[in-house]
Structure 1
Amino acid sequence: MTDQAVSGVLERIDDALSAPVLNRAILVATLLAMIAHFILLWVGPEMAGGYHSADLPLFALFALGGVPILMQLAIKLLRREMGADFLAAIAFVTGVWLGEYLAASLIILMLTGGQVLESFAMRKASSALNALARRMPSVAHRKEVNGDISDIALDDIKIDDLIAVFPHETAPVDGIVVDGHGSMDESYLTGEPYVVAKAPGTAVLSGAINGEAVLIIRAEKCAQDSRYAQIMNVMAEAEQKRPHIRRLGDQIGAWFAPAALLFALLVGYLSGDSSRFLAVLVVATPCPLLIAIPITVMSAISIAARRGIVIRDPTVLERLPTCQTAIFDKTGTLTYGRPELVDVLPGAGFEADFVLRLTAGLERYSKHPLASAVLKAAQNKKLPLDEVSHASEKPGQGLSGQVDGHEVVVTHRNKLVKSDPDIAALLPETAAGLECVVLINGKYGATFRFRDTPRAEGESFVGHLGEIHHFNKVMLLSGDRESEVSYLSDLLGIRESLASQSPEQKVAIVRAEAATAPTLFMGDGINDAPALAVATVGIAFGKESAVTADAAGAVIPEASLVTVDELLHISMAMRRILLQSVIGGMVLSILAMGFAAAGYITPVAGALLQEGIDVIAILNALRLAIRHDIDADISSEQREDL
């Protein structure tokens, strides 16, 4: 049998022994056995051979919970792994050997309790993929030549097939509307919180949720090649290549456990006294690693929850203070995601309201985030929206259509400079911010200027990341246009920004940065889920997508950079107290090991002393739960202004 095959078998056995169901069963059995032990200790009789009836429930526990621990210990020895739980397993065996049955039971409680808490708090690696898969329909409705509708499997969809998307269904493929007027919610895919109107000629993204009307679309791609499938593929790859992060307890235990075991063996050999070996091993058991860490982490999770932060992966709290690179999505993260039309500059022979009315009628069928700003401006002026007979929006070509008998085109300055320099010469000078150009019947109609309002706290938040939180690099990574991204990055003082990035490109960039230094990525929408998964720490902003939440380690439902700053401070406080508890407890254990090696501490006294060290570590860990001074760097006065 090859080494790889043996490793695979050991991994499967270890997974089975670490199964959440088994750990929960052992945890319940441990609690019941200890309760029975104390009851029998009070009322139970003595037994022959120096045993007490109160020990019987603990013996049964050792058979149920001790065997998996011993098997895991054997697997760790075969793998040459010595983590924080290695000495605990050795201490369990030692406790049974010494007749310290209650202490051995407590070790089982610590081991299984920690594993149950961690498996409860941490997400499963496949949760995001499952959430993605659940959103797609199992069949598609194909419109046949004779007009009948037949249900077919998604894989049977061919290019140019006519597919009916019924109300509230999810679009199965990318396509073009050929019949029907309605709307679709594309926020899950784009991250933009807008419902996009649909008319013949407009594009449909797979994964978008249909509104109230039936739409007939012509398939532009097969299901496996459509946008939603591509995102699923990238997400699957991201999950498979998710970076393996060692927990802090494992990192410390990796050197402490073998060192302590070697010291105990050396003491036993040199002294010729096996009791000294056992005493050293008992006081060396890294209970602060097994108890103080979970308590500190759960306290931090509780504090975060009170601040409106959902911690899905507790390791986020350990890793966040180590991050050196911060990468942010744009819309809805560093901005409010609500661009506003601030100026309409009409061309010669056109009135601003006339151009706005025609443009707003057409923008109902656009998926661009500026469309809602145009519609809102028209609604504020109570302008009627004319019927659109045709609409088309192709990537890089702008939006075009026929509105109330007028040919309307919404495009941008750079395209006009290349395609029609005469019209481009009529445009006003460029200004900071966002803009689009409207052509009516081939003539220059107006220039619209917008502002995608940055969050009020954005500049101060970005500005203090380096000084306070020790980030060496801050990046803006967005799927939006270059002009929008550059404007925001200049406004917030972000030196590095990349625009027009697809989910695949975002994953590649985030993975490359994470390989160089621990990296934080913040975003929203399904399109950010793969990047969230491959980052050292992923924070999902807002509550629009369960998929994004599944891919992230932390979720901030009520989007606010102030809350992000609070999370940074909570993680810093947690890591500081955690290190105090762990290192302080281990220093005391090391001192106790010295006294035990000299013969001043017996194994029984060592077990009691170790319990005292545990109490000190736990009390220090509990300080985090009662703290009320963890706050963002923005003052109360600034918050009221926000």
Structure 2
Amino acid sequence: MTLVFRFPLVAGTVLAMLAVAALLASGLRDAAQGVATIYALSIALYRAGAMVKGLFRGRWGIDLLAVTAICATAAVGEYIASLVIVLMLTGGEALEDFAHGRASKELRALLERTPRHAHREVEGGGVEDIGVDAVVPGDLLLVKPAETVPVDGRLLSDVGTFDESALTGESLPAERLTGEMLLSGSVNGANAIRMVATASASNSQYSQIIALVREAAESRAPTVRLADRYAVPFTLVAFVLAGVAWWLSQDPVRFVQVLVVATPCPLLIAAPVAFLAGTSRAAKAGIIVKNAGTLEQLSRVKTAVFDKTGTLTQGRPVLTGIHVAAGCGLAPDKLLQLVASAEQYSSHVFAASVMSSARERGLSLLPATDASEHATHGVSADVGSATVVVGKPAFVESHTTGFERTPLEGGQLAVYAGVGGEFAGTLIMSDPLRPNAVETLAELARLGVRHTMLLTGDAVSTAQHIGKAAGVDDVVAECLPADKVAAVKALPLRPVMMVGDGVNDAPVLAAADVGIAMGAKGTTAASESADVVIMLDDISRAALAVDIGQYTMKIARTSIWTGILLSLGLMVVAMAGVIPAVAGALLQEFVDLATILNALRALGSRSKAAGRVKAPRPERTVSAPDPSVSSARARPQVRSDGRGPSWE
């Protein structure tokens, strides 16, 4: 409601000044003074009410100087100065609204794109328009060209192109194939597509983002409260200097001249605008900062802790080699084809990677019968005339003869296979380090992070291999979620930033001083327990978040002190009586403008060197088709977390 009255007050002040000018031009000086005094004192009374409300919110002294200055100028006959002070206050608030809107542009863009309607297919053909809240999982939906995807779901059409920039910050359009996930909030391309809903609107990705954005917009950072506390000594100093000037000059006008340049609008405006600008810049980069206080924590991070799978590594095992058993008589590609054909019935995380590797080599998957999966152990299926078994060494050894273990290097995993009751060979898999992981850690070191750690539930050899490759200081492996929490709490250099993405990361993300979830492809549990959610699957955004936090804090402090020092300088000069009250009020308006413009610098990057870590070129991840969508034989891809099953 306050916003409704701010601009009318500016308009009213301008009209009052025009009326005063007209009266002065007509020679009616007393009438002009009366109009100006009555209007100014009315605004002072209104501001006094706001001052009382501010006191209850902990904002001490912000309005006291302004109300005193208006009353004092009116009392000594400086009615023109009183109108200028009123214009400064009302105009400054309007300028703050503009700055607030500019700084929160990216946040509001997310809110404005909230899906509201959906087109649901009905039995017998046809489409009905329904509210997005009426969509339930399993509904078949039509998304027309340039429309927003209403809820999370899977694509039924052969192919679709989507603008996911509002979700991930990635400007390039994303191509999706049949069975792949579609995120609510993404914008469909030039062709209509069909999809099946997998979540309701309230449980979809976009609604979760909106909740985070609203939380961010409503938060108030410690530094903003600190700026409020500056008002107490600032107000005392202003009154002391004004009183001294009055006492030395024995002229009450001198008291007024000091007060009109002491109105602490820069102190009130600077920090909130800077934090909104920093939060907006982060959102534009695909980084949702849940509250402004997190930006201050990010700026002071001294220890960075990382999960392994899906965080430092890509989280998608890739085939690095095929070892065919001696005397097997199969070519490597034939072995891969047989294994992939059996794996199409498995829900294991490696299954999709094996099938993808086969397709990349141009190998078609063969039909199979009598397939069965032995949970956490492996899968068996009749492919052609042979029975193929795939899985852990003990499982394959129990179903074959001539079994041999394959020696592995650090970071490697083995998928063992048998064909026709004989051991056939091994597929060597690895979860590679992200291409920009090393650069990200180097950038964090440049930003002042003094200690890095890898926490994972994986085996020691694999964890140490990844940790060494990434340049991590300490590696702690074979951790349960409780072990991760204990390790983070024991770290001496604080604040501690934890970056993870799995369900098992949720407790440690909440325990860290700053929890960062790779939310674009991570889990809801991790995202909800984190302070920051990275929407783009790019670890370099963790370093960018720290950079944004540091730059935002720098701008906020600079803006606060710029306003304070300029006001103090003007007060000292005004004590000598060389700044008339009207001129002083106008000078203070320029101080407000300079402070706000400086705070808006947080919308940009600190230098050309900022953001020097290059993001990897976006890749399209092809998931196995959903069985309910396109194939009765395939299984959807399953993500791995730090404690996921190993086939090694």
Relative to the length of structure 2, the TM-score reads: 0.61
* Counterpart secondary structure, 2:432: strand
Gaps of 5+ in 1: 1-21, 136-162, 170-187, 199-206, 216-222
1:586 is the counterpart of 2:564 = yes
1:383 is the counterpart of 2:372 = no
1:104 is the counterpart of 2:83 = no
1:458 Cα deviation after fit = 1.8
Amino acid at match of 1:461: T
1:627 Cα deviation after fit = 7.8
Deviations 1:478-529 (A, max 9, x none): 6877765554223202244567889x86995799589973344445689878
Does 482-491 or 627-636 show the bigger shift? 627-636
What is the distance in 1 between the residues matched to 2:491 and 2:43?
43
What is the distance in 2 between the residues matched to 1:284 and 1:392?
79
What is the distance in 2 between the residues matched to 1:33 and 1:546?
53
CA contact (8 A) 2:274 2:602 kept: yes
What is the distance in 2 between the residues matched to 1:33 and 1:492?
62
1:353 is the counterpart of 2:327 = no
What is the distance in 2 between the residues matched to 1:294 and 1:562?
27
1:340 Cα deviation after fit = 2.0
Amino acid at match of 2:359: Q
CA contact (8 A) 1:123 1:313 kept: no
**In the alignment, which residue of structure 2 is the partner of 1:88?**
62
* Counterpart secondary structure, 1:426: coil
What is the distance in 1 between the residues matched to 2:370 and 2:195?
17
**In the alignment, which residue of structure 2 is the partner of 1:469?**
447
What is the distance in 2 between the residues matched to 1:253 and 1:90?
13
**In the alignment, which residue of structure 1 is the partner of 2:412?**
434
What is the distance in 2 between the residues matched to 1:36 and 1:507?
65
Gaps of 5+ in 2: 75-81, 118-135, 143-166, 168-174, 185-192, 620-648
**In the alignment, which residue of structure 2 is the partner of 1:219?**
none
1:24 is the counterpart of 2:3 = yes
What is the distance in 1 between the residues matched to 2:370 and 2:220?
53
**In the alignment, which residue of structure 1 is the partner of 2:495?**
518
**In the alignment, which residue of structure 2 is the partner of 1:152?**
none
**In the alignment, which residue of structure 2 is the partner of 1:447?**
426
What is the distance in 2 between the residues matched to 1:60 and 1:402?
91
Cα 1:27–1:564, aligned 2, differ >3 Å: closer, same or farther? farther
What is the distance in 2 between the residues matched to 1:578 and 1:585?
11
CA contact (8 A) 2:241 2:571 kept: no
Does 451-460 or 294-303 show the bigger shift? 294-303
Q: Among 461, 468, 471, which residue is 1:490 paired with?
A: 468
What is the distance in 2 between the residues matched to 1:60 and 1:26?
17
CA contact (8 A) 2:84 2:585 kept: no
What is the distance in 1 between the residues matched to 2:295 and 2:567?
26
Cα 1:630–1:392, aligned 2, differ >3 Å: closer, same or farther? farther
1:49 Cα deviation after fit = 5.4
1:465 Cα deviation after fit = 2.0
**In the alignment, which residue of structure 2 is the partner of 1:248?**
223
CA contact (8 A) 2:460 2:478 kept: yes
Cα 1:74–1:620, aligned 2, differ >3 Å: closer, same or farther? closer
Percentage identity across paired residues of the two chains: 26
What is the distance in 2 between the residues matched to 1:276 and 1:516?
52
1:373 is the counterpart of 2:353 = yes
* Counterpart secondary structure, 1:582: helix
CA contact (8 A) 2:372 2:380 kept: yes
Aligned pairs (5 A) from 1:508-587: 512=489, 517-522=494-499, 559-560=537-538, 565=543, 568-569=546-547, 571-587=549-565
Cα 1:105–1:497, aligned 2, differ >3 Å: closer, same or farther? farther
* Counterpart secondary structure, 1:449: strand
1:469 Cα deviation after fit = 0.9
Cα 1:53–1:73, aligned 2, differ >3 Å: closer, same or farther? closer
What is the distance in 1 between the residues matched to 2:585 and 2:491?
43
1:470 Cα deviation after fit = 1.0
Deviations 1:456-491 (A, max 9, x none): 33213213422x111133244568777655542232
CA contact (8 A) 1:297 1:314 kept: no
Cα 1:242–1:29, aligned 2, differ >3 Å: closer, same or farther? closer
**In the alignment, which residue of structure 2 is the partner of 1:339?**
317
* Counterpart secondary structure, 1:263: helix
What is the distance in 1 between the residues matched to 2:432 and 2:339?
22
1:303 Cα deviation after fit = 6.9
What is the distance in 2 between the residues matched to 1:313 and 1:565?
17
* Counterpart secondary structure, 1:428: coil
Cα 1:62–1:522, aligned 2, differ >3 Å: closer, same or farther? farther
What is the distance in 1 between the residues matched to 2:503 and 2:379?
24
- The answer to which structure has the higher helix fraction is 1
CA contact (8 A) 2:563 2:592 kept: yes
What is the distance in 2 between the residues matched to 1:134 and 1:516?
46
Amino acid at match of 2:51: L
Q: Among 356, 360, 363, which residue is 2:343 paired with?
A: 363
Relative to the length of structure 1, the TM-score reads: 0.62
1:287 Cα deviation after fit = 3.1
CA contact (8 A) 2:103 2:277 kept: no
**In the alignment, which residue of structure 2 is the partner of 1:203?**
none
